[in-house]
Amino acid sequence: MSQLSELRITSKEGNGKSSATGQNGSRFDKTGVAEAPRYSCSMGGAYMCTLATFGAVPIIHSGPGCVLAQNFGQNFAAGLNGAGPNGNTSTPCSCLVDEHAVFGGEAKLRGLIQSTQELVKGSLFVVISGCVPALIGDDVAGVVRDFQSGDRPIIIVNTAGFKGNSYHGYQTFFDSIIEQLLTEQPKQKGLVNLLGIVPYQHIFWKGDLQVIKNLLESIGLQVNMIFTENDGLAAWQRVPAAELNLVFSPWCGTDAAAKLEQKFGTPKLEFPSVPIGPKDTSSFLRAVAQQLGIPNDQVESVIAAQEFRTYRFTEYVADMVMIALPHAFAAVVADTSTAIGLTRYISNELGWLPEVVVVTDDPPSAARERIIQYLRDGLESAVKPEVIFEVDSHKIRLLLRQHTAQIILASSLEKYIAGDELNAMQVSVAFPVYDRLIVDRTYAGYRGGIALVEDVAAKYGGPL
Amino acid sequence: MIDLKAKTCPNREQRAGAITAYYGKASELVRDVRCGAVKQRERDFQQATGCVLNFYLTTRVATIRDAVMIVHAPVGCSSTALLYREVYRRIPPSEGRPADFDLHWLTTGLNENDVVYGATEKLRYAILEAERRYKPKAIFIMASCTSGIIGEDIEGLIEELREDVSPALIPIHCEGTRSRVIQTAYDAFWHGVLKYLVKKPRQKQKDLVNIASMLSYTWQDRLEITRLLTRLGLRPNFIPEFATVDQFEILSEAAVTAPICPTYTDYLSRGLEQEYGVPYFMYPSPVGIDHTDAWLREIARHTGKEKEAEQLISEERAQWVPVMQRIQEEFTKVLPNGKQVDILGSLGQGRLVTQVPYFEELGVKTPATICQDFDNLLLDQIDGIIKQSGDFDVLVNTFQAAELAHLTRKYDPKLALTCPFQGAAYKREKGSTRIHALRGDSRQWSRQAGYRGAIAYGNFLLQATKNQAFQKTMLAKTEDPYHDWWYAQPNPLHYLRKESVNEPAV
């Protein structure tokens, strides 16, 4: 196949202008047909949330291959991460086959829950059901209910792969926890929860959470990251005690925050992304401080010290920025919040020119106008990005060919395309990422922007 | 007898009596399988095994260079294939990787609407779109649990479309729920290939050798096999990974089908012989010096290259046997008083039958073997190995991490071979290293096949005996996932049910 010439001819198909309708919802029979969309299924999202809760043991009620698919299609695809002590083939799974489809899988699940609680250490057991039980009509909730009267916390997350993507799974997971696990707690002054950072879909999730936590602690707050807190069950149980919920996405996690507000009276404060670099980080701290009535001078002294240090350190990257990477036309291909955070940083601090932003996580249409505003308003760059909502990796490739970006911040799917077809530098910053190991790397916070410059400059390498 | 009129192959359970749970002596297992006394049994505690679609078909079929894979499933079933644009790219073109290739796959992204109203129209759209976009020579349509349960008529649609689209359309019945034995995936894939893709031979190619290459054999292994066959004036036809559609079409023209992993190649080999008279052999594989000799002789016998093979073998042995002797000496220095090193390894049946003799060649011993499934396809070969190396224990399990951790503690070998599917089993006081690398790894130290592989793998295992810091530290500093009673009781198959499973008639 000599695709190059053929694809250039057909490249108009991906010519979406900044519009809130995007590719989805046009004709129902096509919805979902795509090359390599950048997420897994609802079950996968809920499973990743469980693995991100330390001490939680997932019990997957599904066909035999769902777990392996998530291991390679979620955690490994998000910066080459191993799945941890209860993930991958360490995950208890009912491995349903045809005879269960005929006779039902409930008995199998019952035995699996029993044996898992006997054998596997854990403080919270999370039963996640996939497509097969949903299609054959297993009463999964009924089976789990029998165990909920016991003294070992166990919940059911009723997903099915066909119900939605990983982000849908994240939201379903929160819904299940809120409904089945959380109870009213006395409010704890200065405690905040962090929502909207989706494990693995946001490839820097671990580092993002930790940096936000450290930042807020520096202005005197206590922070519940929930995911990766040492005691995951305790972290979840503490959620209703928070004074404020922070959501770092214009659309993912907002429903959960609304439910928490309704059920426990916790107000929420929404940010479109985690803050990247000093400007947005300082604004973020001021906004949270204002909401919680933290004295101005306390916050401003932290900000002054952090900004001094960060910009003093920025001196060290200035030669590379000015000589190797100046005023680059940039393309960003990422999920909503990663795209917003990076676009603002490269435009407002690095002096780059964000030419096009492709949003890859299929946000609901109601959120799209707002996302476009976040991506185009408040940018110092005279170049405002064209914003396109696209999940099809083939169409994204064609779209990028219509631009002349010099630096592409994207997934590793764009790695070779950037070099071979677009003559652009590329750094993998969004799901999926197979070309770098990401543990707690992050671009969030004061130092985050410098970390980004380090990663971009590593691709330039060599003496000036 | 392979029935290519059927939509798909029988499951491994039916075709070869495959089981996924057993613990005992190899000799007893072989005897009991022969007399039909071994039945498939379920576990009360089970960990994820992989399925017919997602053991690795999604990642394998997506690498066929001028084909497109369509996964007719919810979006999660194909997420493993997200690696498709990068998987072979790290191999430098200077190592023989074609510089210009482009891989594509589509999901139909089945949603709630589709499971209620059916999704055949969506699949039709996906097939037409795949042809329009990519102009492929073949389109592989992968079934899933969901497409199977909602009763999608993939064959019916393909019959309708066959006249209108030019690429070959190949349905693969890899519904995840169809079989407990993930090796059924091999047969299901080969069935589609044999039925829809292999063409009648235009002319026999006397120098062409079919080699079905697993993802667990690396690029360097291909290079070594190519080097050896080239010396005999032969050409390898490596399928399916990273092949072109043309390479499948000409499978019928080859002089012989040779194994790297017999359990993997079996259905294809039989099919090619039955339909087109292409001879095949199942054993041995080119792992270890002796077995590489034998493998080359077997190929030579079918290609009339006996003389050249003997010449090649004697030259290679002269070069590599002295190196192997040095490795053997090094192994005798690992333990005090020259005590023999024991290595716990294996993965599938294919590695069971290659590792035991290879470890013998290295001068180390195998206290037990582990394989994902066990069927009646290699009984004679295993008999032969028992005769040569003595009896050994076998644990049959498909990636049951708790059982593997148990077994590793129980035998406590000097060196345990592991993979990401074995969970915490690598955390131990003694040696741990990987069983194998993967296809995209083009480094020379990842070789395992042929003469160079025998040496590289021996050195690789020696390296692993020299430092235990990582696994020891992880053992000390992280919590084991299982309660202590698990290791205190003797049986890795503690949770195996007594009764055999009741499989619905197929």
Q: Six-digit token pair at B444?
A: 């020379």
Q: Reply yes or no on whether the pLDDT at A9 is more than 90.
A: no
Cβ–Cβ gap B421/A44 under 8 Å: no
Question: Could you read off the pLDDT of A272-328 as tens digits, one per residue?
Answer: 999 999 999 999 999 999 999 999 999 999 999 999 999 999 999 999 999 999 999
Please indicate, yes or no, whether residues A173 and A67 belong to a single structural domain of this protein: yes
Q: What's the mean pLDDT in B54-63? A: 92
Q: Which of A214-218, A382-386, B91-95 has the lowest mean pLDDT?
A: B91-95
SS3 A205: helix
Query: What's the pLDDT band for B246 if we cut at 50, 70, 90?
Result: very high
- pLDDT at res. B347: 83
Peptide bond into B420 cis (omega under 30): no
Cα Rg of chain B (Å, integer): 23
Question: Considering the domain boundaries, does residue A463 fall inside one?
Answer: no
Please state, in angstroms and rounded to a whole number, the distance separating the CA atoms of residues B61 and B70: 10
Cα distances (Å, whole numbers) of residue B438 to A60, A211, A318: 27, 35, 41
Question: Considering the domain boundaries, does residue A464 fall inside one?
Answer: no
Please indicate, yes or no, whether residues A240 and A138 belong to a single structural domain of this protein: no
Cβ–Cβ gap A98/B503 under 8 Å: yes
Query: What's the pLDDT band for A7 if we cut at 50, 70, 90?
Result: very low
Question: Considering the domain boundaries, does residue A452 fall inside one?
Answer: no
Residue A441's nearest CA partner among A24, A80, A42, A161 is A80
Question: Could you read off the pLDDT of A134-152 as tens digits, one per residue?
Answer: 999 999 999 999 999 989 9
Please indicate, yes or no, whether residues A7 and A53 belong to a single structural domain of this protein: no
Cβ–Cβ gap B82/A415 under 8 Å: no
Binding-face residues of B in 429-488 toward A, CB within 8 A? 478-483, 486
Please indicate, yes or no, whether residues A54 and A160 belong to a single structural domain of this protein: yes
Q: Considering A243, A271, A292, which residue would you say is the last residue of a domain?
A: A292
3-state helix vs strand vs coil in chain B, percent to 5: 45, 15, 40
3-state helix vs strand vs coil in chain A, percent to 5: 50, 15, 35
Question: Please, what is the Cα angle at B466 between B463 and B469, to 5 degrees?
Answer: 115
Q: Six-digit token pair at A192?
A: 């905040």
Residue A384's nearest CA partner among A344, A428, A324, A442 is A344
- pLDDT at res. A4: 34
Domain ranges for chain B, please list them. Answer: 57-177, 321-497
Asked if B93 reaches chain A (Cβ–Cβ under 8 Å), the answer is no
Interface with B, mutate which of A9, A95, A361 (most B CBs under 10 A): A95
Question: Considering the domain boundaries, does residue A104 fall inside one?
Answer: yes
Furthest-apart CA pair in chain B: how many Å?
73
Report the complex ipTM: 0.96
**Amino acid residing at B265:** T
Q: Are A446 and A281 in contact (CB under 8 A)?
A: yes
C-alpha B25 chain-centroid distance: 24
Query: What's the pLDDT band for B165 if we cut at 50, 70, 90?
Result: very high
Q: Six-digit token pair at A421?
A: 């077809």
- pLDDT at res. B504: 52
Please indicate, yes or no, whether residues A156 and A102 belong to a single structural domain of this protein: yes
- pLDDT at res. B420: 87
Please indicate, yes or no, whether residues A342 and A259 belong to a single structural domain of this protein: no
B321-497 and B57-177 share a CATH fold:
yes
Question: Could you read off the pLDDT of B296-344 as tens digits, one per residue?
Answer: 999 999 999 999 999 999 999 999 999 999 999 999 999 999 999 999 9
Q: Reply yes or no on whether the pLDDT at A25 is more than 50.
A: no
Question: Could you read off the pLDDT of A403-455 as tens digits, one per residue?
Answer: 999 999 999 999 999 999 999 999 999 999 999 999 999 999 999 999 999 99
Please indicate, yes or no, whether residues A342 and A271 belong to a single structural domain of this protein: no
Question: Could you read off the pLDDT of B180-229 as tens digits, one per residue?
Answer: 999 999 999 999 999 999 999 999 999 999 999 888 889 999 999 999 99
> What class, spelled out in words, does domain B321-497 have in CATH?
alpha beta
Please indicate, yes or no, whether residues A53 and A176 belong to a single structural domain of this protein: yes
Q: What's the mean pLDDT in A106-124? A: 98
The chain A residue lying nearest B50, using CA atoms, is A65
Question: Could you read off the pLDDT of A324-365 as tens digits, one per residue?
Answer: 999 999 999 999 999 999 999 999 999 999 999 999 999 999
> Which of residues A460 and A52 earns the better pLDDT score?
A52
Contacts of B402 in chain A (CB under 8 A): 90, 119-120
Question: Could you read off the pLDDT of B395-407 as tens digits, one per residue?
Answer: 999 999 999 999 9
Please state, in angstroms and rounded to a whole number, the distance separating the CA atoms of residues B9 and B423: 32
- pLDDT at res. B157: 97
Q: Six-digit token pair at B254?
A: 């080859």
> Which of residues A30 and A116 earns the better pLDDT score?
A116
Cβ–Cβ gap A33/B111 under 8 Å: no
Q: Provide the shortest C-alpha distance from residue B449 to chain A (in Å).
A: 26
- pLDDT at res. A27: 43
Contacts of B54 in chain A (CB under 8 A): 65-66, 68-69
Question: Could you read off the pLDDT of A172-212 as tens digits, one per residue?
Answer: 999 999 999 999 999 999 999 999 999 999 999 999 999 99
**Amino acid residing at B215:** L
Cβ–Cβ gap B106/A34 under 8 Å: yes
- pLDDT at res. B346: 83
Q: Reply yes or no on whether the pLDDT at A14 is more than 90.
A: no
Q: Provide the shortest C-alpha distance from residue A291 to chain B (in Å).
A: 40
Q: Reply yes or no on whether the pLDDT at B503 is more than 80.
A: no
Please indicate, yes or no, whether residues A10 and A98 belong to a single structural domain of this protein: no
The chain A residue lying nearest B174, using CA atoms, is A65
Residue A255's CATH number: 3.40.50.1980
Task: Find all residues with CB under 8 Å of B339, minimum gap 6, and list them.
Answer: none
Please indicate, yes or no, whether residues A199 and A149 belong to a single structural domain of this protein: no
Contacts of A361 in chain B (CB under 8 A): none
Please indicate, yes or no, whether residues A138 and A254 belong to a single structural domain of this protein: no
Binding-face residues of B in 121-150 toward A, CB within 8 A? 121-122, 125-126, 129, 132-137, 145-146, 149-150
- pLDDT at res. A13: 35
Contacts of B44 in chain A (CB under 8 A): 111-112, 114-115
- pLDDT at res. A31: 84
- pLDDT at res. A30: 82
Within B277-400, residue ranges assigned H as helices are: 289-303, 306-332, 349-362, 379-389
- pLDDT at res. B348: 87
Nearest to B80 among A39, A73, A114 (CB): A73
Range of the domain at A239: 191-292
Q: What's the mean pLDDT in A41-56? A: 98
Q: Provide the shortest C-alpha distance from residue B184 to chain A (in Å).
A: 13
CATH, domain range B57-177: 3.40.50.1980
- pLDDT at res. A15: 38
Q: What's the mean pLDDT in B97-108? A: 95
Give me the phi and psi of B45, to 5 degrees please: -105, 120
| Percent of chain A at pLDDT exceeding 90 | 92
Contacts of B114 in chain A (CB under 8 A): 32, 162
Query: What's the pLDDT band for A1 if we cut at 50, 70, 90?
Result: very low
- pLDDT at res. B334: 97
Question: Considering the domain boundaries, does residue A217 fall inside one?
Answer: yes
Cα distances (Å, whole numbers) of residue A326 to A283, A320, A458, B107: 26, 8, 15, 40
Residue identified by tokens 């083009």 is B442
| Count of domains observed in chain A | 3
Contacts of B74 in chain A (CB under 8 A): 41, 131, 160-162
Query: What's the pLDDT band for B36 if we cut at 50, 70, 90?
Result: confident
Q: Reply yes or no on whether the pLDDT at A5 is more than 70.
A: no
Please indicate, yes or no, whether residues A56 and A123 belong to a single structural domain of this protein: yes
HEC-encoded secondary structure of B204-241 = CCCCEEEEEECCCCCHHHHHHHHHHHHHCCCEEEEEEC
